[in-house]
Amino acid sequence: MKLTWDGCRQRQQRLAAVLEERDLDGAVISRREHVNYFTGFLHHRYHAAAAYVSRGGQVTLVADGAEAGAVAADEVVPYAAARLATLHSAQFEEVAAKLAPAVPQGARLGADLGGGIACVAALAGPDAADLTREVYRLRKYKLADEVEAIRHCIAVTEAMYRAAREVIAPGADEVEVFAHLRAAGTEAAGFDLEHFGNDFRANDLGGLPRRRPMAAGELYILDSGPSVDGYFADNCRTFAVDGSPTEAQVRAWERLDGLFPEIEAAVRPGVKAAEVFALAHQRLSGDGFDGLIHHLGHGMGMAPHEAPELNPEYDAVFEVGDVFTMEPGLYAAELRAGIRLEENYLLTADGLEKLTSYPRALV
């Protein structure tokens, strides 16, 4: 945590004094900056979290279990913001369910309701029907203008790949490479990118760049996830740092590259997405590999992860109008550290259209 434990506890005590003054029993805190302010936990911007602060100063934090570390809370209740690496849209519902036991029933409570969402939603009145799930359902079918927005965003990712080939080499610093990619992506978009995601590391499965020089023999996974005009792209290429992949790396790449025609042919309206995952998992298992260790893919649009989820822990079904990724990967120490290849697709009444076109080659 960047904020100090003592500082967070002081802020909690100040909040408890406000609760005492207002004759409230506790406060439910859910805005990202406020959770950080009181607990020192700044969660991932695509994740949900919340805290309950009692009038007596007891603090319960609900957070994604993979994120929560040292925080200024008396109890940390974990939940999963993603299932098999796919983010889901019911995070706030799960956080609320996990936090509920800490919140006394019948108590007089406060909450950080201020801001646009609460103020605007209040206009609907206390008896308003919640249309959230219906809106998510509408968002699954992408209209032509949405697809064009996603194509624009994909063009940004392809500019990033071209830029990556210019600078990836033994000795190149990951942060400096990231800065070069950011500049290329910004220029391609024509304005500052609100989101840039996702993975910018060599010799690792993914993550943000480090102050670390790349080495010969390593693979660099570039999983690009920028947002342009409110819509996301998400695709991935893997590059051999020294331009000379090893025999093991080439064999793994050929296995992944050769999988795409088979999984593409398996996608049709009405097919369960988990069935395509199972097919890919079977084809990638064996020869020292455990198959897929994360989802095969996911929908995308106004969020980086939407339905359909190509994941056995979801029950998604492919439908016309879906825009989604397929991103099989193989990882092992001998690969330094793995290969992930990701394409973007639109499912139409006439079949599957691949929206991405940048070559998948390692060099």
| Residue pLDDT, tens place only, 326-337 | 999 999 999 999
With a cut of 80, say whether residue 118 has pLDDT above it: no
The residues, any chain, with a CB within 8 Å of residue 214's CB and separated by 6 or more, are: 168, 169, 170, 171, 172, 173, 174, 177, 202, 203, 220, 241
Segment 92-96 shows an average pLDDT of 94
Confidence of residue 53 (pLDDT cuts 50, 70, 90): very high
Q: From CA 227, how far away is CA 193, in angstroms rounded?
A: 6
- 123-162: per-residue pLDDT in tens? 778 887 877 888 889 899 998 989 998 999 999 999 999 9
Instruction: Specify the pLDDT at position 117.
Output: 72
Alpha-carbon distance of 263 to 230, in angstroms, equals: 29
What are the residues whose beta carbons fall under 8 Å from the beta carbon of 308, sequence distance 6 or more? 140, 273, 298, 299, 314, 316, 317, 318, 319, 322, 324
The span from the CA of 237 to the CA of 325, in Å, is: 13
Indicate the burial class of 180 (C-beta count within 10 angstroms; 0-12, 13-18, 19 or more): middle
In whole angstroms, what is the distance from residue 77 CA to residue 68 CA?
Answer: 9
User: Cis peptide leading into 124, omega within 30 of 0?
Assistant: no
Average pLDDT over residues 280-290: 95
113 has a pLDDT exceeding 90: no
Pairing of strands 109-111, 26-29: parallel
Query: Is the pLDDT at 1 greater than 70, yes or no?
Result: no
| pLDDT average, residue stretch 1-14 | 87
Tell me how far apart the terminal alpha carbons of the chain are, to the nearest angstrom: 39
What number of residues does the chain have? Answer: 363
| Interval 59-77 mean pLDDT | 90
Helix 32-39 to helix 5-22 angle (10° resolution) is 110
If you average pLDDT over residues 263-286, what whole number do you get?
98
Instruction: Check residue 311 and report its DSSP letter.
Output: S
Q: Which domains does the chain have, with CATH numbers?
A: 5-128 (3.40.350.10), 140-354 (3.90.230.10)
Query: What pTM does this model have?
Result: 0.87
Helix (H) or strand (E) holding 239: strand 235-240
Would you say residue 25 has pLDDT above 80? yes
Q: Please indicate whether residue 197 or residue 178 has the higher confidence score (pLDDT).
A: 178
CA distances from 173 to 39, 179, 187, 197, 352 (A): 33, 10, 21, 18, 39
Task: Please say if the pLDDT value at position 12 is more than 80.
Answer: yes
pLDDT of residue 68 exceeding 80, the answer is: no
Work out the mean pLDDT of the chain and round it to a whole number.
94
For residue range 338-352, list pLDDT tens digits in order.
999 999 999 999 999
Determine the pLDDT at residue 169.
98
| Res. 115: pLDDT tops 80 | no
Lowest mean pLDDT among 122-126, 288-292, 296-300: 122-126
pLDDT of residue 131: 75
Q: Rounded to an integer, what distance in angstroms lies between the CA atom of residue 44 and that of residue 250?
A: 34
**Nearest-5° Cα angle at 38, 34 to 41:** 80
Q: What angle do CA 219, 224, 225 make, to 5 degrees?
A: 150
